[in-house]
Amino acid sequence: MAEALYPAEVEVRLWKALEDTKVGMLGVASETPRLQPMTAFCDPKGNLIWFFASRGADLTHLIGDGAAGVFSVVSEDHEMHACLTGDLTTRFDRDVIDRYWNSTVSAWYPKGKDDPDLVLLAFRPDHAEVWISKRGPVKFGWEVAKSKLTGTRPEWGQHARLHLH
């Protein structure tokens, strides 16, 4: 059995994975959620994840004056899967734009930081479901074979539910 992780440790690992991975699926939580790939810019101290978006985008319209949001991410090493929920709002904050602006973001906004179509999405997660596993393909195969031979469930890793603040 895997060694238990403390929620604070899982939260640190979650923020690290979010910062390293950057891309996940963002959307509005609803009966028929519509998620789309977005690049995340993390502010763990402020408990915020920022996204550059277009004012005319479907997601921006769905958010309106604010909505329940969901962000799903898989770490680059595939050792962490997470689904975060929280408040999702649209904002325009020049300091945030300046902090995260880069050549990739600029490709989407030909008029630069003052592009009238540019808006920020601010996601403040309050809960996260996190699955952590250090399993490669060999370990996966071993766990499946072992479960078939012993009649036990495979050891897949750890699961944590976090309240983020």
CA distance 124 to 114: 25
pLDDT of residue 157: 73
Cβ-based neighbour number of residue 60 at 10 Å: 16
CA distances (Å), origin 133, targets 59, 155, 159: 32, 9, 9
**What percentage of the chain reaches a pLDDT higher than 90?**
69
Q: Residue 7's pLDDT is what?
A: 86
pLDDT of residue 138: 67
Mean pLDDT of the chain: 89
pLDDT band at 146 (very low <50, low <70, confident <90, very high): confident
Instruction: List, in order, residues 6 or more apart from 123 with CB less than 8 Å away.
Output: 26, 48, 49, 50, 51, 69, 71, 84, 86, 87, 88
Mean per-residue pLDDT, 145-165: 81
Residue 154's pLDDT band (cuts 50, 70, 90):
low
Counting Cβ atoms within 10 Å, is residue 131 exposed (0-12), middle (13-18) or buried (19+)? middle
pLDDT recorded at residue 165: 74
- DSSP code of residue 3: P
Q: How far apart are CA 19 and CA 40, in angstroms?
A: 8
pLDDT at 1 over 50: no
Domains of the chain and CATH, by start:
7-163 (2.30.110.10)
pLDDT per residue as tens digits for the range 83-107: 999 999 999 999 999 999 999 999 9
More confident residue, 47 or 139: 47
Q: Please tell me the pTM assigned to this model.
A: 0.86
Question: Based on C-alpha coordinates, what's the Rg of the chain?
Answer: 18
Mean pLDDT of all residues in 62-66: 93
